[in-house]
Amino acid sequence: MWNRRMAGHPAALFTIIIWGTTFISTKVLLTDFKPVEILFFRFVMGFVALFLVCPHRMKGVERKQELTFVLAGMCGICLYYLLENIALTYTMASNVGVIISVAPFFTAILSRLFLKSEGKLRANFFIGFVVAMAGVALISFNGSRMELTPMGDLLAVLAAFVWACYSILTRKISSFGYPVVLTTRRTFFYGILFMVPALFLFDFKIGLERFADVTHLLNILYLGLGASALCFVTWNLAVKVLGAVKTSVYIYMVPVITVVTSVLVLKEPVTWVSVMGTVLAVAGLFLSEYSGKGSGNSE
């Protein structure tokens, strides 16, 4: 059991490292692709990859279990990404970055309401949340000031809440006893179905000839195979092992990974503000994670 629980932390950290670097691939693709096109292609590619890895069918799925998969696909695959992308058209990326990092707090509240297995939250979790949010704010508003844009900020809050719902649903799905690859594939299926109506609203175009560009192809492969197929499996595995609350606090690391990647890949300058923000975000993560047995129990 000890080894099993310890495996959850590397899985969560690996996932966040990949998710924290996806902005580079997305930025490259946005020159020729709309946000909804990138989302659709990456998750279709992820679904196909998971099917090829494990083509087996899930047998004996009950109606209530099926509904849980439907809701997880709607929340974590469709609504979260659409809300986040639409929010970015109304407000600054820095605002969205900070607000999305509130997701672990929502997850903690929902876990207390709906998950008996998560255990009691201790003061350390909330102290860690405040410390991490201070760090995320320093990173996000480094060199800029916060500008409130109600529509965009509200959509970002909704995105954070929807991700928390997905985390709770994923925890519930983990109790069904099915292999993680199969449950992730089923969630992708429903997420893609819910995404289809949005394609018509956002003027979606197939335009597969755009992937003749090797740069475009490599970046969509990174998003589809890495950030979608592989990372959703590792994230769901971490939730299964650690619980929804303990896994969700790794979201604090996303801005940190983004800063490090910006410095290493984009050669952006390091500032004392971003360094201080990074230290606080990591400290908040540790405070929330290592708050004793009450912060989240594995099965």
DSSP the chain: -HHHHHHHHHHHHHHHHHHHHHHHHHHHHTTTS-HHHHHHHHHHHHHHHHHHH--PPP-S--HHHHHHHHHHIIIIIIIHHHHHHHHHHHS-HHHHHHHHTTHHHHHHHHHHHH-GGG-PPPHHHHHHHHHHHHHHHHHHTTTS-----HHHHHHHHHHHHHHHHHHHHHHHHHTT---HHHHHHHHHHHHHHHHHHHHHHTT----GGGGGSHHHHHHHHIIIIIIIIIHHHHHHHHHHHH-HHHHHGGGGGHHHHHHHHHHHTS-PPP-HHHHHHHHHHHHHHHHHHTS-GGG----
Which domain range does residue 108 map to? Answer: 2-295
Percent of the chain exceeding pLDDT 70 equals 90
Nearest C-alpha neighbor of 173 from the set 80, 88, 244, 246: 244
Is residue 183 over pLDDT 90?
yes
What pTM, to 2 d.p., does this model score?
A: 0.85
Distance of alpha carbon 1 from alpha carbon 204, whole angstroms: 47
Percent of the chain exceeding pLDDT 90 equals 43
Q: Which residue has the higher pLDDT, 255 or 205?
A: 205
- Helix, strand or coil, per DSSP, at residue 141: coil
- CA 285 from centroid of its chain's CA atoms: 16
Is residue 298 over pLDDT 60?
no
Distance of alpha carbon 58 from alpha carbon 184, whole angstroms: 11
Per-residue pLDDT at 201: 85
Per-residue pLDDT at 145: 61
Mean of all residue pLDDT scores within the chain: 86
Number of domains the chain contains: 1
Per-residue pLDDT at 22: 86
Digit-coded pLDDT (tens) for 54-79: 998 888 889 999 999 999 999 999 99
At residue 295 the predicted structure's pLDDT band, cuts being 50, 70 and 90, is: very low
Q: Which residue has the higher pLDDT, 89 or 180?
A: 180
